[in-house]
Amino acid sequence: MVGMVIERDSVGEEGDDVVTPGEFLGEATEFIAGKGAYVSPNGRSVRACLTGRRKVTAAPPGSHDNRSTIEIVGHKAHGAVPQPGSIVIARVTKVMARNASADIMCVDSKAVKEKFSGIIRQQDVRATEIDKVDMYQSFRPGDIVRALVLSLGDARAYYLSTAKNELGVVSAQSISGGTMVPISWTEMQCPLTGQIEQRKVAKVD
Amino acid sequence: MDVDTRNMTPTNLIDKIVVPGDVVLDLTKMENQTIKLGSGLRQDCDCISVLQAGKLRLSKPNKYWVESSQKRYVPSLEDTVLGIVVEHRSDNFLVDIKAPNLAFLPVLAFEGGTRRNIPKFETGTLIYARVVKANGIMNPELSCTDASGKAAEFGQLKNGYMFETSTGLARMLLSSPTCPVLEALGKKISFETAVGFNGRVWVNASSPDDVILVSNAIMRSEFLSGTQQRIMAEKLLQRLEKV
């Protein structure tokens, strides 16, 4: 009879082996369950609940409990997800009378793995004179904007805001096809024809 | 001998048929001039080229545009159009004006319009309205008042007969002085018409015979010159008297 003993590296570093949900990670007396792990119903073992690699962090010195924390890292759900308060980069898809919809592409300078929808409402385009906002003079379909996530919004889209100096259109193409150059916070100019188009422009340092 | 170049038009294609790709103006040969480009023309660095097939027109001193005629309509500001109501939403009517998108007609955009006296337009109602917002991206917006808020003939068109034409014929019917065919018909028959820039014409007269005669005369007059239109109208009117 051949038995195989697999030695588990239980202190200090990330294992190379992949663990799957339900797999035994360690004793509850020796480890605290971190992100991606849980204590089994009988209270004695720590098991994984995600697919990924094990990571063990030693207990911080001076805490009551000197058990290490075991957690699962490297799993797919780590793609960026917009949270209220994060700055996102989005591409405007549709401009309507009272709002504009945009596809969120990056969250806090990290690209997303799946597309999120955002909406910029008329009252969130800028900070002053919000009832006189003309959506057509603020955004056009295809513009790249930097926006702030206000809230999780409704089931369809996050609510975004560009009501700050550093938020707004970052890059846009003119009707003639050239990439426009910003000349003020409301205007951008096409280098090919010299035509000026209105946008809500972001102040980029 | 100095040639006075200010009055020479820089192109010999004025009032001629042009097709997409034709270069109409060379800006390097024209200095210190402001040129206004209308529809159908595009600036490509130093030359102006044609986007749409049609006739090149110039309005002195410096407005150039291409006049073309299609069956479809591209909404533009301050055009008067004939629309057909498709749906009634809470704050506007959805109206079909032969454009890529349905147009919105706010329920309050009528003279003396308040939330209490919203007009009851059913699906299929013919409306004469004015375009107040038209950009290529959003749905166009209409209004049944003129700029000062008065009704001015806008609103529902009752009775009569509506037929569709090309945008070129609609513009010809709306030109001033009065189009020859309408003038010739108006001498013998009393009728009223509403012409929309979107290629829809509505005709109303006291008897169905007159309505049919006027409609047919208008439909036939698209490619006729002024004299030919008058002759055609007179022949039709003679037939009416004989019967």
> For residue A9, is pLDDT > 70?
no
Q: Which residues contact B5 (CB under 8 A, 6 or more apart)?
A: none
B206 in contact with chain A, both atoms CB, cutoff 8 A:
no
B39 in contact with chain A, both atoms CB, cutoff 8 A:
no
What is the model's pLDDT at position B9? 58
The count of C-alpha atoms lying within 13 angstroms of the C-alpha of A109, restricted to the half-sphere facing its C-beta, is 0
Q: Which residues contact A199 (CB under 8 A, 6 or more apart)?
A: A137, A138, A139, A140, A143, A168, A169, A172, A180, A182, A186, A187, A188
Distances in Å between the Cα of B147 and the Cα atoms of A107, B8, B152, B153, B154 are: 46, 39, 10, 13, 12
Chain A residues whose beta carbon lies within 8 Å of the beta carbon of residue B43: 176, 193
Q: Do B42 and A140 touch (CB under 8 A)?
A: no
Chain A residues whose beta carbon lies within 8 Å of the beta carbon of residue B136: none
Strands A158-161 and A110-121, sheet pairing: parallel
What is the model's pLDDT at position A30? 86
Q: Chain A: residue nearest B43 by CA?
A: A193
Rounded to the nearest angstrom, the minimum Cα separation between B1 and chain A is: 36
Q: Chain B: residue nearest A190 by CA?
A: B45
A17 or B177: which carries more pLDDT confidence? Answer: B177
B154-181 residue pLDDT tens: 999 999 999 999 999 999 999 989 999 9
The rounded distance, in Å, linking the Cα atoms of B93 and B54 is 34
What is the model's pLDDT at position B193? 95
Distances in Å between the Cα of B103 and the Cα atoms of A42, B85, B129 are: 66, 9, 11
Query: Of the candidates A136, A192, A193, which has its C-beta nearest B138's C-beta?
Result: A136
The rounded distance, in Å, linking the Cα atoms of A106 and A120 is 16
Q: Chain B: residue nearest A192 by CA?
A: B45
Rounded to the nearest angstrom, the minimum Cα separation between A97 and chain B is: 7
> For residue B115, is pLDDT > 70?
yes
What is the model's pLDDT at position B33? 81
A143-156 residue pLDDT tens: 999 999 999 989 89
Mutate to test the interface with B, among A143, A174, A190, A193 (most CBs of B within 10 A): A193
Rounded to the nearest angstrom, the minimum Cα separation between A159 and chain B is: 21
Q: Do B43 and A141 touch (CB under 8 A)?
A: no
Give the tokens for residue A196. 């000026």
B1 in contact with chain A, both atoms CB, cutoff 8 A:
no
Note the ipTM here: 0.71
Query: Of the candidates B42, B44, B138, which has its C-beta nearest A97's C-beta?
Result: B138
Query: Of the candidates A141, A176, A193, which has its C-beta nearest B137's C-beta?
Result: A141
Question: Which positions in chain A have a beta carbon within 8 angstroms of at least one beta carbon in chain B?
Answer: 95-97, 135-136, 140-141, 176, 192-193
Chain B residues whose beta carbon lies within 8 Å of the beta carbon of residue A136: 135, 137-138
Highest mean pLDDT among A40-44, A117-121, A126-130: A117-121
Cis bond upstream, residue B61 (ω within 30): yes
Average pLDDT, chain A: 87
Amino acid at A58: A
A110-127 residue pLDDT tens: 888 888 999 999 999 999
Q: Chain B: residue nearest A142 by CA?
A: B137
Q: Do B138 and A95 touch (CB under 8 A)?
A: yes
Across A49-63, B68-82, B110-124, B127-141, least confident range:
A49-63
DSSP 8-state class, residue A14? E
Query: Of the candidates B42, B44, B138, which has its C-beta nearest A96's C-beta?
Result: B138
What is the model's pLDDT at position A78? 64
At B123, the pLDDT band (50, 70, 90 cuts) reads very high
3-state secondary structure (DSSP) of residue A132: helix
Q: Do A136 and B135 touch (CB under 8 A)?
A: yes
